[in-house]
Amino acid sequence: MPAASFANAVSASKALATRVGIDITNRIFEVTGTRATATKYGFDRYWRDLRTFTLHDPVDYKLRAIGDWVLNNQLPTITQYS
């Protein structure tokens, strides 16, 4: 698999995991209500961990790289978010 294809596959996986994870954690709070924030359940930990994961390596950079590849056939450039 060429490096660009691999980089785009990783970027797409990161973007999908982020979107699905945020959706799931938001639904946990919607279903369980305010008690989801209680320390004894620990649901808030999932949300905090996911948000930390997504903010340390922003998905917007991944989506831009995928778009450049699909629309412009431009290889992803190496950055601190690669």
Cα–Cα distance between 32 and 19 in angstroms, integer? 20
How far is residue 29 CA from its own chain's centroid?
A: 19
Q: Token pair of 81, please?
A: 């978010």
State whether CATH 3.30.70.1230 applies to domain 3-72. Answer: no
Question: What is the residue-level pLDDT of the chain in tens, covering all 82 positions?
Answer: 577 678 888 889 999 999 999 898 889 888 988 887 788 888 888 888 888 888 887 888 888 888 998 899 888 777 666 6
Task: Please report, for the chain, the start and end positions of each structural domain, with discontinuous segments joined by +.
Answer: 3-72
Could you tell me the sign of the dihedral formed by the alpha carbons of 63, 64, 68, 69, in that order?
A: negative
